[in-house]
Amino acid sequence: MANLSSHGVLLVAAGSILWGSSGIAGQYILQGQGISPEWLTFFRLFVAGSLLLLISHLMGKGIVSVWKSSAERLRLIIFGCLGMLGTQYCYFACIKVSNAAAATVLEYIMPVLIIMWYCMREKRLPRGKEVFCAVFAIVGTVLIATAGDLTSLALPPEALFWGLLSAFACALYTISPVGLILKYSAPVVGWGMFLGSLVLMPVTLMTTFTGVVDTNTLLAFAYVVVFGTILSFVFYLGGVAYVSPSRGSIISALEPVSSVIFSFLLFSMTFGMYELTGMALIIIATVVAGIK
C-alpha cells in the first residue's frame, strides 16, 4: 500500500507540474506569438475535449451515458459552459495582460472560495482553519496586486479582474461535476471542454485572428493540449485513486510553485519580496485548506 501511495503522490505531482507548465506555454503563445485568448481557449477546449472523448470511447467508456439523465445533463452543461469555459478563458486572459505565474497564483484562491460556499450552504460560520485560509489568501492577493504599496496596483487592474474571475470559475468548475466525475470519469471532462468550445465558437469567429502561426506556436499549442490538459488530467485522476482527495489538493499546490519557477527559468522573470510573500501565503492557504 505504501508503494501505491508513493505512486499516487508522484502521479498527482506530475499532473500539477504539467498544469503549471502549460500556463508558461500559454504565455508564450499569447504574448510571444500574439494569439488572442479567445482563439487559444477555443482551440484548446475543442482539440483537448475531442481527443479526451475519442480516447474514452476507444477505452470502452460510455461517452453518451452522462446525457441520459436530465439532472446530469444540466450539471454537465453548467460545468462545461460556466466552469470549464470560465476557468480556461479567464486564466488565459489574465496571462495575456500579466504573466502565467501571477495568473496561476490568483486562480489558487479557489479553495478559499469553496470553503466560503460550503459555509453558506451549511448555514454556519467558518471554522478556525477556514478563517486562517481566508486571511492568508486575501493578504497574499493584496501583496501580489500592490507589491506592498497599498496606494497603487503592481498588476494591471484587468489582470486582477481576470485572475479573480478565474478563481470563481475554477471554484464552480471544482464543485459542480464532483458526482459526475466519480460516476463517469474522463468523459465528463471531455464533454465539458467540448461544450465550452461550442459556446465560445461564435465569439471566436467574430474576433479577428491575429498572431504568428509557425512551428514554435504549434509545438507550444501541442504541449498545452497534450501535456498541460490531457496528460495532466490523466495523471491527476490516476494519482487520487491511490491518495486521498485532501492529500491530492495539497500536492496540487505544486502548480503555482512550478509556474513561478518556470517563469524564472524560461522568461527570466523576477519577483520582489512582497510578490513572493503573497504567492507563499496563497500556497500555504491552499495546503491548509486541503488538510482535514
Confidence (pLDDT) at 279: 83
Q: How many residues does the chain have?
A: 292
Spatial distance between the Cα atoms of 264 and 276, rounded to a whole number of angstroms: 12
Only one residue has cell 479567464, namely: 90
Within 8 A by CB and 6+ apart from 155, the residues are: 98, 102, 144, 145, 163
Most confident option among 93-97, 125-129, 237-241, 287-291: 93-97
Which residues are CB-contacts of 237 (< 8 A; sequence separation ≥ 6)?
Answer: 181, 185, 186
* Residue 3 binned pLDDT confidence (cut-offs 50, 70, 90): low
DSSP 200-254: HHHHHHTSPP-S--SHHHHHHHHIIIIIIIIIHHHHHHHHHTTS-HHHHHHHTTH
Based on its alpha-carbon atoms, the radius of gyration of the chain, rounded to whole angstroms, reads 18
Residue 1 has pLDDT above 50, yes or no: no
Instruction: Read off the pLDDT band of 250 (50, 70, 90).
Output: low
Is it the case that residue 32 has pLDDT exceeding 90? yes
Residue 66 DSSP code: G
Type of residue found at 210: T
Q: Of 113, 170, 141, 116, nearest to 282 (Cα)?
A: 141
Dihedral sign from CA coordinates of 186, 262, 220, 201: positive
Average pLDDT of the residues of the chain: 85
pLDDT tens digits, one per residue of 145-174: 787 776 676 788 999 999 999 999 988 887
**pLDDT at residue number 20:** 84
Region of poorest pLDDT, from 23-32, 98-107, 181-190, 233-242: 233-242
pLDDT of residue 194: 96
Q: What is the pLDDT of residues 251-267, one digit of tens each?
A: 777 777 788 888 888 87
109, pLDDT greater than 50: yes
What is the residue whose three cell numbers read 472560495? 113
pLDDT in the model for residue 88? 92
